[in-house]
Structure 1
Amino acid sequence: MQSFDAIVVGAGFAGINQLYQLRQLGLSVKLFEKAPDVGGVCIGTNGQMQPATLPKETQAYMNHVVERHNLRQHMQFSSELKSANFDKSDSKWMVQLSTGETFKATYLILATGRFNKIVWPSIPGQEKFAGEQYHTGLWDEHRDLKGKRVGIVGTGSSGAALLVGLAKEAKQLISFQRSAQYVIPNNKGPVSAEYRDNVNKNYDEFFKKCRRCGAGFGFDPVPADYTTFSVSEEEREKVFEATWNHIYGLAFTFASFSDIMTNEAANRELCKFFRKKIAQIVQDPEKREKREKLMPPPEALYDKRPVCSSGYYEAFNQDNVDVVNLKKTPLAGITEKGIETTEKLYELDVIIYATGYESDGTWADITITGPDGTTLGEHWAEGSTSYLGLLKAGFPNLFFVIGPQSSLANIPQHAEFHAEMIGKLISKADKMRKEEESAAGGSNTVLVDATQQAEDDWVKLCDAIIKQTVYYGGESYFFSDHNTVRKPKSGRHVLWYMGGFDNYVDKVQEAVEAYRGFTFVY
């Protein structure tokens, strides 16, 4: 059986970066990816992005990195991780793949991503529909929806982005929504040659700025005392308007006022602004009913993961685009002809499910068995936990890139940071092994683990932080009781560190450099 120092699972941003960094340490590493090429979820869900140029350019960049650093020779594609078992006889992880192959490794790094397990809705009659059915997470790039009657189920990020693109293509487009969301424009576009040149010359500064940003995107930090009601109504309106036109849709959360997500009154002030913008955009008197369906109820807060898509509300001004509120006219089921509500049957040629991913299910669904014979799934029956988003106590030498209770932030930035931290922990273990080998002549594996107390304390901290925000009352993938079978018996179980990426970086670096909360044993 072939053995490596480390096995990395996943060939997205996280896995490629981790492979590179471990190779830099001189380790023998093999990366396995279930898809036929590099890309990860960023490429696999390109139905969310229009035009398709963006995922193609992203994949081209990834391929460029792989070729530049000669990493492809260490990769194996179309090979899905099926199970992993810790072998106590030699303290190594034994990995089984979909190809039937088995390998061993001292370190197993799961760079599988938080968003790759698709959530399919369970709607009576789905199997009866005579037309085409898709999920945005399994998008057929070569599909042709021109001139067709299309229904989109779901109004999260993928549903909103897809709607904008298909509005120009479909004969009829209907958004079936359970809950209306505030959709913020993402005003990105081609950059100038001068801007590109500036980035090329100052990469280090840009990356440093990203790490000092609460979202990992490089926003300038908002002073703590710059709060929603610390300014006049006129200035508040100007700030909101400028943020609406910002290049990043996440700017309302991180680059407007410091208390938007911690002060309910401030959050409601922002919601008032959003409602006014929707009314300004969807203003045709004949569209009044449509506009009301697009607005969350007045009591609703801006308390979910921000949905960003330029041109979303504008699309509903088109006569071929409509919205159905499934709370007012509940979904009855799917028939051979289309989607039926308690009000009427909507005849369709295509149904697209934009129902997202299970952010708590990626790892638990893989049979990963620790030294005590129990699996991750058994440990995480009520929600996944980890120490710093890096390790699960009791599963030595098993690392996660952006695991449970990681910071909610820019994924590539976060992945690179985690790859560095995992590299430091492995370097420490490898140094200990070499010292022991030199002194005693043996060659025992050093096991890197987290203490259960450190893990418990970290999860408690994440829980305490989110309870101080408006997110705690919202329904989103921030918690294990949303879009997952792993529901806590009482209360809510938080899946993310919501204290800001900058603060997260400080806490993780401090813990790793002091080796606090970790154990290193032979």
Structure 2
Amino acid sequence: MEPDYDAIIVGAGFGGMGAAIELKRLGHGNIAILEREDDLGGTWHVNHYPGLAVDIPSVTYSYSFEPNPRWSQLFAPGGELKQYATDVAAKYDLKRHMEFGTVVDGAVWDDDAQLWRVTTHDGVSRTARYLVTATGFLSQPHVPDFPGIGDFAGDIIHTTAWPDGRDFTGERVAIVGTGATAVQLIPELAKQALELTVFQRTPIWVVPKVQLSIPPQVRELFARVPLTQKAARLVSGSVLEVLMVTGVLHFKQFKLGNKGAALLAKAHLRNQVGDPQTRRKLTPTYDFGCKRPTFSNTYYPVFNQPNTHLETSSIVRVEPDGIVTEAGKIAVDTLVLATGFDLWDTNFPAIEVIGREGLNLGKWWREKRFQAYEGITVPKFPNFLSLNSPYSYSGLSYFTTIEGQMKHMGRLFGELARRGKTTFEVTEEANAAFLDDATERLDSSVFYSGDCASSRSYYFNKSGEATLLRPRSTASTLREMGRFPLDDYSYR
């Protein structure tokens, strides 16, 4: 049976776009990219709250094969990332393959026809030889179920559904959460709110941000001599690599490096916050790297302002006119939820995927441990590529992960064509060996050799395993993704 498409890609963010570019390069041009939102860009389309910016230097947070000489700052604002996605889609003619406002319910492998049957919320069914899920790691917003939250009389705003132009002047605002999103948003809210209460459950490590504007002359140089931007990317990537690989993944061997990063963050806090009690509340009790740290020069100073209050008491309930904590009631007009994303309950996978023998991927992961060979394929799921999988995230830039997976696809599909076959499936032996190796390597990481007990980090799944990051250097990851043993797959 001939399918409707060579491949269906779920998600039109940078991961899905990278997969589409690689598939088209490999000769699979009949593709459909199904996206639930009304435009492309993934998280950079959904998120547009005040202060939004990338927290990785922009020369690194981009495709290496598609450098952008137009970044205005070292850490580009969110709007520029959205524009970059639009420009890349135009250059590689991707938008004509995209269907927006299309919510995928699930996909089932048809072993007799050797294809995937994908159903969408509107009842339409599509078939494809290959299925690629590119739904992102942070795509399912988490909304806390505080008692009484449904009775709150004011506005409740989640950061993923930000009302552009919203003015908070004269309002008593409460924000729940102090993760990377909140670190960017809180200084902006404090500029307008009459009173701002920050509800913190777990403090975050914050280090100084070297925020520099990129002068027009430098941008022109990047455009005329691309090698200069490649050199800047190399320097930026190397610094991030040292931070990630030595300080986090090789914590056992390089504890001093990790402690040095923590000391830098503590000095930054001490230099920017005057009140000792507030500093104590803002100081993490877990090791640096257990939870993703962030960069900011404007977050800590907010807590010196008379209109901003740090609240660490647990929320008991929400009432129509405020929030009741263990320490008392706080009057609130508007509630902002910077509560992040539901990573492990609803995002692995984000849709129902049924493989051979009726195997449900979500249930299998939860019953048999989260796992994926090279962070991209799973046994008993033929012709399936899961881009946001366990052990897939490499380095600190998501684009490292994307390009490694593109390399893997190129080698895999090349061998498939050489053998004259149409179906691939990773062997259970190869998958088990990869899982054992990843588990062993992670033993040296801060996640298992450090103190992460109080971090409440999304790096850990419900079983307490840190199964999100690939425990390899960027260079090693890219090398392995392009050189894995071809016999680790079976071909039909």
State the partner residue of 1:237.
none
Q: Amino acid of the residue matched to residue 517 of structure 1?
A: D
Identify which of 329, 332, 338 aligns with 1:348.
332
Contact 1:48/1:158, CA 8 A, preserved across alignment: no
Identify which of 364, 382, 392 aligns with 1:379.
364
State the partner residue of 2:85.
62
State the partner residue of 1:130.
153
Q: CA deviation at 1:160?
A: 1.2
- Please say if 1:275 is aligned against 2:275: no
Q: CA deviation at 1:209?
A: 8.1
State the partner residue of 2:486.
515
State the partner residue of 2:458.
477
Q: Amino acid of the residue matched to residue 4 of structure 2?
A: S
Identify which of 360, 368, 381 aligns with 1:395.
381
State the partner residue of 1:10.
11
User: Which runs of structure 2 are paired with 1:404-483 in the superposition (5 Å)?
Assistant: 404-406=390-392, 407-433=394-420, 446-472=422-448, 473-474=451-452, 475=455, 476-481=457-462
Contact 2:391/2:468, CA 8 A, preserved across alignment: yes
Contact 1:157/1:309, CA 8 A, preserved across alignment: no
Q: CA deviation at 1:31?
A: 1.0
Hey, what's the Cα distance between the residues in 2 that align with 1:510 and 1:37? 35
- Please say if 1:175 is aligned against 2:148: no
- Inter-CA distance 420–510: structure 2 relative to 1 (3 Å threshold): closer
Q: CA deviation at 1:48?
A: 6.8
Hey, what's the Cα distance between the residues in 2 that align with 1:432 and 1:363? 32
State the partner residue of 1:30.
32
Secondary structure at the aligned position of 1:372 is classed as helix
Q: Amino acid of the residue matched to residue 480 of structure 1?
A: N
Hey, what's the Cα distance between the residues in 2 that align with 1:370 and 1:347? 51
State the partner residue of 1:291.
279
State the partner residue of 1:306.
293
Describe the superposition over 1:177-204 as per-residue Cα deviations: whole angstroms up to 9, x where unpaired: 1122221233333202333234334546
Secondary structure at the aligned position of 1:377 is classed as helix
State the partner residue of 1:500.
473
Secondary structure at the aligned position of 1:384 is classed as coil
Contact 1:219/1:255, CA 8 A, preserved across alignment: no
Q: Amino acid of the residue matched to residue 288 of structure 1?
A: P
State the partner residue of 1:366.
351
- Inter-CA distance 301–60: structure 2 relative to 1 (3 Å threshold): closer
Q: CA deviation at 1:100?
A: 2.1
- Inter-CA distance 259–463: structure 2 relative to 1 (3 Å threshold): closer
Contact 2:221/2:228, CA 8 A, preserved across alignment: no
User: Which runs of structure 2 are paired with 1:313-332 in the superposition (5 Å)?
Assistant: 313-326=300-313, 330-332=314-316
Describe the superposition over 1:358-392 as per-residue Cα deviations: whole angstroms up to 9, x where unpaired: 33342434111112112111111154310011101
State the partner residue of 1:98.
121
Q: CA deviation at 1:305?
A: 1.4
Q: CA deviation at 1:252?
A: 4.8
- Please say if 1:47 is aligned against 2:49: yes
Contact 1:110/1:399, CA 8 A, preserved across alignment: yes
Hey, what's the Cα distance between the residues in 2 that align with 1:308 and 1:424? 37
Q: CA deviation at 1:152?
A: 1.3
Hey, what's the Cα distance between the residues in 1 that align with 2:343 and 2:201? 20
Contact 2:49/2:162, CA 8 A, preserved across alignment: yes
Q: CA deviation at 1:334?
A: 1.1
Q: Amino acid of the residue matched to residue 111 of structure 1?
A: A
Secondary structure at the aligned position of 1:277 is classed as helix
Hey, what's the Cα distance between the residues in 2 that align with 1:3 and 1:50? 39
Moved more, 168-177 or 135-144: 135-144
Hey, what's the Cα distance between the residues in 1 that align with 2:152 and 2:160? 20
Hey, what's the Cα distance between the residues in 1 that align with 2:418 and 2:17? 24
Hey, what's the Cα distance between the residues in 2 that align with 1:262 and 1:350? 47
Hey, what's the Cα distance between the residues in 1 that align with 2:194 and 2:459? 36
State the partner residue of 2:65.
none
Q: CA deviation at 1:122?
A: 2.4
Secondary structure at the aligned position of 1:492 is classed as coil
Describe the superposition over 1:30-83 as per-residue Cα deviations: whole angstroms up to 9, x where unpaired: 111111111101221222744799332222222222223322221111111111
Contact 1:33/1:76, CA 8 A, preserved across alignment: yes
Describe the superposition over 1:454-473 as per-residue Cα deviations: whole angstroms up to 9, x where unpaired: 22222222222222122224
Hey, what's the Cα distance between the residues in 2 that align with 1:321 and 1:42? 28
Contact 2:247/2:255, CA 8 A, preserved across alignment: no
Hey, what's the Cα distance between the residues in 1 that align with 2:106 and 2:282? 44
Contact 2:3/2:129, CA 8 A, preserved across alignment: no
Secondary structure at the aligned position of 1:314 is classed as helix
Hey, what's the Cα distance between the residues in 2 that align with 1:69 and 1:19? 9
Q: CA deviation at 1:428?
A: 2.3
Q: CA deviation at 1:493?
A: 4.9
Q: Amino acid of the residue matched to residue 413 of structure 1?
A: T
Hey, what's the Cα distance between the residues in 2 that align with 1:257 and 1:464? 15
Describe the superposition over 1:295-320 as per-residue Cα deviations: whole angstroms up to 9, x where unpaired: 234x7555321123331111112111
Hey, what's the Cα distance between the residues in 2 that align with 1:35 and 1:418? 24
- Inter-CA distance 85–204: structure 2 relative to 1 (3 Å threshold): farther
Q: CA deviation at 1:257?
A: 11
Contact 1:402/1:414, CA 8 A, preserved across alignment: no
State the partner residue of 1:223.
none
Hey, what's the Cα distance between the residues in 1 that align with 2:130 and 2:43? 23
Hey, what's the Cα distance between the residues in 2 that align with 1:432 and 1:3? 23
Describe the superposition over 1:134-176 as per-residue Cα deviations: whole angstroms up to 9, x where unpaired: 2223333343323321111111111111112212122211111
Q: Which residues of structure 2 form unaligned runs of 5+? A: 55-75
Secondary structure at the aligned position of 1:82 is classed as strand
Q: CA deviation at 1:117?
A: 1.4
Q: Amino acid of the residue matched to residue 311 of structure 2?
A: V
Q: Amino acid of the residue matched to residue 314 of structure 1?
A: P
- Compute the TM-score of the two structures, normalised by the length of structure 1: 0.81
RMSD over aligned Cα atoms: 2.8
Secondary structure at the aligned position of 2:83 is classed as helix
Moved more, 48-57 or 372-381: 48-57
Contact 2:390/2:468, CA 8 A, preserved across alignment: yes
Describe the superposition over 1:457-515 as per-residue Cα deviations: whole angstroms up to 9, x where unpaired: 2222222222212222423222212xxxxxx3xx635222132222211222221xx31
- Inter-CA distance 385–264: structure 2 relative to 1 (3 Å threshold): same
